Amino acid sequence: MKKHNFSAGPCILPQEVMKKASEAVLDFNGLGLSLIEISHRSKDFVAVMEQAQSLVLELLGLENKGYKALFLQGGASLQFLSVAYNLLNRKAAYLNTGTWASKAIKEAKLFGELVEVASSKDANFNYIPKGYSIPADADYFHITTNNTIFGTQIKEVPDTDVTLVSDMSSDIFSRQLDFSKFGLIYAGAQKNMGPAGTTLVVVKEDILGKVERTIPSMLDYRIHIDKESMFNTPPVFAVYVSMLTLQWLKDLGGIQAIEKKNEEKAKTMYAEIDRNPLFKGFAAPEDRSYMNATFNLVNESHKELFDKLAKEADINGINGHRSVGGYRASMYNALPLESVQVLVDIMKELERKA
Ligand code: PMP
């Protein structure tokens, strides 16, 4: 029996993907060779890369719209830098909604003027700022659609003529958005897409080539586009598992189908947080993330018992991040509703026993 895995990332992936991935490590496509011991330029691996890229664009509804999907390395953290390197000429605008947005801001400051249009730092990032204005002369506007640590999520994509760039590391492929509103989207694979080790970048080609500086090859999106994510050796295992997960999502009915499941999980979770007098939610209700539910005990003295109940119920990964404390239930695409029900049950049990 597997545990109920609420880990914030790396995190739960579909069981059938795990099984296929483990088989491919032993023998890939009946080649008598492992996936991880063949050339990344072999016919069999090139087909994996092409399939992964085309599934990304298909699932996001971005086929034939001038976008390219890249599988890179360095995590979302390197994208904080790469985005600015490739797109920031003079001025960039950022919305500061948490730790990751702050880190993106720190890197971008190396390249030009940075306008922080709004920040929710004053309330430990428990809400999404609204009603800010974006300077029309910014080279781009950067948002973080889901704030993994604080459990907030942007519900409406901002309406702007400025090129939109988004870190979607913790909610990509989880809900329907008009992805064509974005010039660039990036996401570390290790939540809804696959294992750690690769980072997805989806970029509209016509936003590139506008900065004056020379870009080092490994950071240059145009070089990676030219070389079809094979400028250097790609992380073959991470790309393969991502491809399998994207295929799993497509077979399930795509983002539209998973969004319904994610809504049901989140509603079940937040309903108990709101009903149970022993708990309180951390994030502002209107900005609550459907991926990461953050909540605290009203009375810390219940912690020992709650942790014991969680352990007995085979629940893994609900400890909150140190900057929020309490608990965080991450409910990524592959987490079944039954796991949320098990968590809700022990919250009720705590209420009975405490
Ligand atoms: N952005 C967000 C929203 C994240 O959740 C994370 C990691 N949890 C990162 C960026 C950093 O990603 P990486 O570890 O792949 O650099």
Domains of the chain (ranges, CATH numbers): 15-252 (3.40.640.10), 254-353 (3.90.1150.10)
Are the C-beta atoms of residues 170 and 191 closer than 8 Å to each other?
yes
Are the C-beta atoms of residues 298 and 274 closer than 8 Å to each other?
no
Distance in Å, CA 144 to ligand 1 centroid: 10
Query: CA 81 to CA 106: how far, in whole Å?
Result: 9
Distance in Å, CA 79 to ligand 1 centroid: 10
Residue 52 pLDDT exceeds 80: yes
pLDDT for the residue numbered 61: 98
Phi, psi at 201, each rounded to 5°: -125, 125
User: Looking at residues 63-87, what average pLDDT do you find?
Assistant: 98
pLDDT for the residue numbered 131: 96
Residue 1 pLDDT exceeds 80: no
- Give ipTM to 2 decimals: 0.99
**String of DSSP letters for 32-96:** SS-GGGS-TTSHHHHHHHHHHHHHHHHHHT-TTTTEEEEEESSHHHHHHHHHHHHH-SSEEEEEE
Query: CA 5 to CA 187: how far, in whole Å?
Result: 21
pLDDT for the residue numbered 108: 98
- Return mean pLDDT, the chain: 98
Distance in Å, CA 220 to ligand 1 centroid: 20
**Cα torsion for 297, 299, 304, 305, to the nearest 10°?**
-80
Atom of ligand 1 nearest to the CA of 8: 8
Q: What is the Cα 281 distance to its own chain's centre?
A: 21
Q: How many CA atoms lie within 13 A of 82 on its CB side?
A: 30
For ligand 1, residues with CB inside 6 Å are 9, 75-77, 100, 144, 148, 167, 169-170, 188
45 pLDDT band, cuts 50/70/90, is very high
Query: CA 253 to CA 89: how far, in whole Å?
Result: 41
Burial of 320 (0-12, 13-18, 19+ CB in 10 A): buried
User: Looking at residues 252-263, what average pLDDT do you find?
Assistant: 98
Q: How large is the greatest C-alpha to C-alpha distance in the chain, in angstroms? A: 65
* 191 catalytically annotated: yes
Which pTM was predicted?
0.98
User: In residues, how long is the chain?
Assistant: 354
Residue of 68, 139, 171, 191 with catalytic role: 191
Neighbours of 161 (CB within 10 A): 8
Query: CA 347 to CA 80: how far, in whole Å?
Result: 38
User: Looking at residues 177-186, what average pLDDT do you find?
Assistant: 98
Sheet holding 279-281, edge to edge: 279-281, 292-297, 327-330
